Every structure is written in structure tokens, then in C-alpha cells.
Chains A and B, each alone.
Chain A
Amino acid sequence: MAPVLSVSDLSVRFHLHESTVTAVNGLSFTLDAGETLAVVGESGSGKSQAFMSLMGLLAKNGTATGEAMLGDVNLLALGNSALNQYRGRDIAMIFQDPMTSLNPALRIKQQLAEVLVRHKGQDQRTAERNALEMLERVGIPEPAKRAEAYPHQMSGGMRQRVMIAMALLCQPRILIADEPTTALDVTVQAQMLDLFKNLTNDFGTALVLITHDLGVVAGIADRMMVMYGGRCVEKGPTDNLFYDPRHPYTLGLLHSTPHVAKRAQRLDPIQGLPPSLEHLPQGCAFHPRCAFRFERCFVERPPLLPVEDVREKACWYQGELSYEEVA
């Protein structure tokens, strides 16, 4: 089956006063129907900007190059009005902060119905009825009552459900969720992740989950893509990357994450800070923080190459990755 989205050589650049910053550099990946792809990285890794560019939501000084094929349409080649045919209908995005993403002056049902009126040409009455159904579908109690509310009258969890409902109204083929549960309490987060799982199963929606939380990734993602300094450094099935990471940065992230079931004496953090995109290190961008680096890493950037059948990594080091080895 052909993938629903196929991105190749995506780069995102921001033009500043006297320089250009490359936030995403040569990113390629595919997305299958019904699968969940987790995009993992720290702030400044380019994980959000890569997907903002697909939605045509880059800041004014940003440009995207490369190809992002949704079927036989290259999203990156479309202007704003052409993009509007696909945004919200085939590909939808939800953000971390549901409060700032909703219009505070409109009732919930108006915001939801607008999507259907616009994209599906439904009349107001039908659109509102469908909106109510979707609110119920995402687990909002008393949807008829809630639909009359304004965003500020709802809790964070409820607002995020409204956002998800809005994103799903047109049953998009792709849902991009940028840190969708970061602002929520754990019990609500668990409900939300459950909801995502059902949606990918029931509607066959492909889910892109942008997150820094490896706990969330472990529970929901089929595959993951780890980003650092604007590039993908490791990609593959979730289990493989968790139990047998091949890139030192993936290993470092796993060792930095506290586990609720274990009381380790100390975490093994990655030393140093994530790099500034304006001054990316020579060679491998991760080498200043890497415990496994050697001469080649300082001068030559490792390309993303296949390891085994299903996974890829960008690292020169070929030995076994374990902290005992280097200690």
C-alpha cells in the first residue's frame, strides 16, 4: 500500500537579519495509514517546524524546500489558498495549548460547525449536528450543553478534546499532534492517549505525535524518529529503538528519563546543552555531547544509513552502545 504521506529532503530555513538558520535539514520519511509515528527531540531539534511547514504555518521569514507528497499533491508547492483545500480536510494539526488555539469569542459549536461548512459545504444545521456527534465521540459528557459553552468555560482536558474533535471532523487522513498532552494532568493524559489509539484504529487516521516524553511514545507509537539539530539521527520501530538504541543520543534520552517503577540512584544525563541552530557543531552535531565520539565525528557528518532492514541511523560509531564500555 502506498504511504499517505511521503516526505523527501525537507529543509526549513529562517532568514534573520544577517544570517539564515536551518531548522530542519534534509528530512525524509513516510507515513502509512493507521500508523502512529512519534517524532522525538528536545527544543530546537526542528521537530515542530518540520510539520508546521507541511501545514503552511511557518513564520513569515521561513521557507521550506523539498517535497511532501500527499497522494500526488506536493504540499510544499502549494500557495495558501490552494493549501486550504487540504488543510483541515486531509491533514489536520493540534497544538500543545488548547486555549490559545481556540477562538475565545465563539461558542464551541460555532467553531466546530465552521469547519464542516467550509470544507464539506454542509449547511449550518447539519454541520452543528455532526459537530455534536464528534464531541460525543471524543468523550465530552453532555455534548449538547457543552457545545453552547465558550472555551474559557472549559477545563484544559475538555478544550483539548474539543481541539481533537475539530481536527477529526473531516476525518483527515493525517493528524499531526504537537505535544498534545504536555499541558494536561496524568489522568487526563491517559484518557487522551486512549482516545488517540481508538481513532487510529477506527478511522485509519495516521497519527504524527510530536513529543519529548518517551513515556508517551512507548505507550502509543508504532515507529519513532529521533531528531537532533534539525536532522533525523535515528528512525525505526519503537521497540527496536527502546530496547536496542543504536544512536548515542537515543541512548542518552532513554537514560535521562526517570521511570516510575524504578528508583535508580542517579540518572545518566547527556552532558552539555542542545546546540544552537545558528552555530551547529562541525561534523556530527551531537559530537560535543557524545560519549562515543572519535576523530571522524569532529570533521565529517554521518549520513542517515540503513541498519538492518527496518531502521536507520546517522552515526559513525559501530561498536556496542553501552555506558559501561566507555566508562
Chain B
Amino acid sequence: MQASVKNTRDEDLIKVEDLSKYFSIGGGLFTKPLQLKALQDISFTVKRGETLGIVGESGCGKSTLGRCILQLLTPERGRVLWMGQDIAALPAEEMRKHRKDLQIIFQDPLASLNPRMTVGEIIADPLRSLMPQLKAKERRDRVIRTMEAVGLLPEMINRYPHEFSGGQAQRIGIARALITEPKLIVCDEPVSALDVSIQAQILNLLADLKDQFGLTLIFISHNLSVVRHVSDRIMVLYLGRIVELAEGDDLYDDPKHPYTRALLTAVPVPDPKRARQRTIDGLVGEIPSPINQPSGCTFRTRCRYALPICAQQRPPLESTGTRMVACHRWQELELQSGA
């Protein structure tokens, strides 16, 4: 895939600036709706060709972030710059031209495919709206090329989704994302619903496609082992805020935020002797409600290192070299690798 010439100097494919997204919950004639702060003050960049992993527990805002990047949700504040351009500010017609560069793969492969369309129609669907200039023959050729790229047999083109297993259905979902030759694909829990052996096949496929087409990936998952396996850099979200963002190895070998360390120690490792030896940094309780968030550092209610200051002031997201971390005590704490 050719990189457009004018942008090769610009390393950042995506720059997210101070993004916040709120949802209104409930509310009626006489009651004010509650405000759910799904994302707050999110800033980061994604470099061309890298895989950025986003991890966190359910309700931390990781899927919302993916959808905000794709402009499927409109943020309350902040902007998403796509190769230096704020695409949300573009007129609809201009924005459509960029749409084909941004695609998404969903978690539940069968639920995300229209049961009444054939595989060929499903995969070709994005072309109808995003590249309407293509003729039927060109469209079909593209579908077949893409099916081959993701390991589907071209003769399956007229079959319906229910005839496929979960792993094959996810290949169809990947083909649909690839068909417009995007630059960025947001993978939202793409392997969570799959069997272990199939999960490994799809992870390898994504890695191959990334090399072959020069893709940039944002990989959202609650499974830290999977994220570690695919990502160059990893962002850890907690209650809608970035608590840590670092290179994969740095994050796993030397976590700076107590939440990152707790997550890492909680991941089950497929190694019985190691599993018996290691101490799990048991987090007490569960993630608080995003509607009624704790004051100061939102993690303090589950943090064993919390001090009075953590309840009073929210720790800023500090940058140190390639790492960002939001904790009052990150410099003094000696956290060991959990894995």
C-alpha cells in the first residue's frame, strides 16, 4: 500500500487531544439525567504502522474510545486529528473520503454480520457507500482478492453467515474491514469470542495483514496476554482516564502505576509452577461506578498505596520519555513486574 507523499514526514497518524465523552443516563420529566463520564481528558498519539493496545476492565471506556476515534460517537470535548486534520470539522462529503481509511472489527463475529446477506455482499458493502465509483466487476475482483488475503475460499462468496464457524465469521469481518484498503483498523475485542486455537490463527492473520498492507492497528481487549502479544505500545484505562501508557516491554517489565501492576499480577499465566509462586496483588472490590466516581485519584479506593493526598487531588498524567503515568507516588513506589 502506498503512503501518500505529503504525509510521510508526519509520523502521527492519529492525534487525540483532550477528548472527553459523557453519556446521559435516565432522566424523565422531572428528574435530571445522570451523567456518566465515559472518557475524560484523553490525549495520545498513534504512529503510522504501530499497534497500540488499549486495556482495562469492563466499563473503563476502551470501546467508547475506539468509537470516538472512528467518529462513530461525537465527543463532548476535544478532537481527533487524522494526519493533522480534524475530520469531524470537515463537511460531510470530505469526511466520507476519509472514512474508507478508518475501519473497525467487532467482538461478536456472527452478530456483526447481516444474516440475510451473502458473504460477498457483506464484504462488498463498504464499497457501495465509500467507493461508489467502482464497477460491479471491479468490486467482485476486490472481494475475491480480499477473501483470499484473509484465508477464505473464493467459492464461499455466495454462502450466508450462519454457514460459518466463529473463526471464519471473524475472517469475514476482517475482510469487510480490509476491502476499502484502510490505513487504520480499530480491533474491538476481535478474538474474545473465539476458541483458543482459532484465536491464535486470527492473531497471526492480523499480524500478517498488518505487514502486508502497512496497517496501523488499535487493539482493544480486556485480555492482557493477547494485548501484550500484538502491541507495540499499551494504554491502560481506568474509569475513563489514562493511568499509564508505555512501550509494551516497559509496561510489563516495569509497571509504574499500581493499577497496571495489579492487572498484570491478576492475569492467569499458563505455567503451573510460576502460577503457584507468584503473589497476586489482590485488588479489593470492583471498579466503582462511572456515574459516581471517587474524588481525586479514581483508583484510590482500590489502591493499597493510597495516601490522603490521593483523595484530594487528581494526579496529573506525567510524561517521562516514552511513558505516561498518572499517580502521585509513581516515583517513590518500587513495583515489581507482576508477570
- A residues lining the B interface (CB < 8 Å): 42-43, 141, 155-158, 185-191, 193-194, 212-219, 238-239, 242-243, 252-261, 263-264, 266-271, 273-274
Contact = CB atoms under 8 A, between A and B. Distances in A.
A190 to B, nearest CB: 4
B149 interface: no
A270 to B, nearest CB: 4
A243 B271 CA distance: 8
Interface string B208-249: 000000000000001111101100000000000000000011
B112 interface: no
A186 B269 contact: no
A257 B271 CA distance: 11
Nearest to B283: A187
Contact of A268 (B166, B195, B200): B200
Interface residues of B, number: 49
Interface of B: 57-58, 165-168, 195-201, 203-204, 207, 222-226, 228-229, 248-249, 252, 262-276, 280, 282-283, 285-287, 337, 339
Contact of B252 (A216, A254, A255, A261): A261
Given A186-B263, A273-B198, A260 B269 contact: yes
> A194, A216, A258, A266 — which one has the most chain B CB atoms within 10 A of its CB?
A258
Given A189-B266, A215-B269, A42 B196 contact: yes
B122 to A, nearest CB: 20
Given A260-B225, A260-B339, A238 B272 contact: yes
B200 A269 contact: yes
> B196, B273, B286, B337 — which one has the most chain A CB atoms within 10 A of its CB?
B196
B224 A157 contact: no
B266 A267 contact: no
Nearest to A269: B200
Contact of A218 (B198, B207, B248, B268): B268
A257 B57 contact: no
Contacts of A43: 166, 195
Contacts of A216: 268
B252 A191 contact: no
Given A186-B263, A267-B204, A259 B225 contact: yes
A186 B266 contact: yes
A156 B286 CA distance: 10
Given A215-B267, A239-B272, A269-B204, A263 B197 contact: no
Contacts of A188: 57, 286
B282 A269 contact: no
B287 A189 contact: no
Given A185-B286, A258-B200, 6 more contacts: A186-B266, A214-B270, A218-B274, A243-B272, A260-B224, A269-B197
Contacts of B273: 239
Contact of B195 (A156, A212, A214): A212
A213 B267 CA distance: 11
Contact of B197 (A187, A258, A259, A270): A270
A258 B267 contact: no
B226 A218 contact: no
Nearest to A219: B275
A241 to B, nearest CB: 9
A273 B57 CA distance: 30
Contacts of B252: 260-261
Nearest to B339: A261
Contacts of A214: 196, 270
A254 B252 CA distance: 21
A215 B229 contact: no
A238 B287 CA distance: 33
Contact of B196 (A193, A257, A273): A257
**Sorted from nearest, which 6 A-B pairs have the closest CB atoms?**
A215-B268, A269-B200, A261-B339, A256-B200, A190-B266, A42-B195
Nearest to A261: B339
A218 B269 contact: yes
Contact of B222 (A186, A190, A194, A264): A186
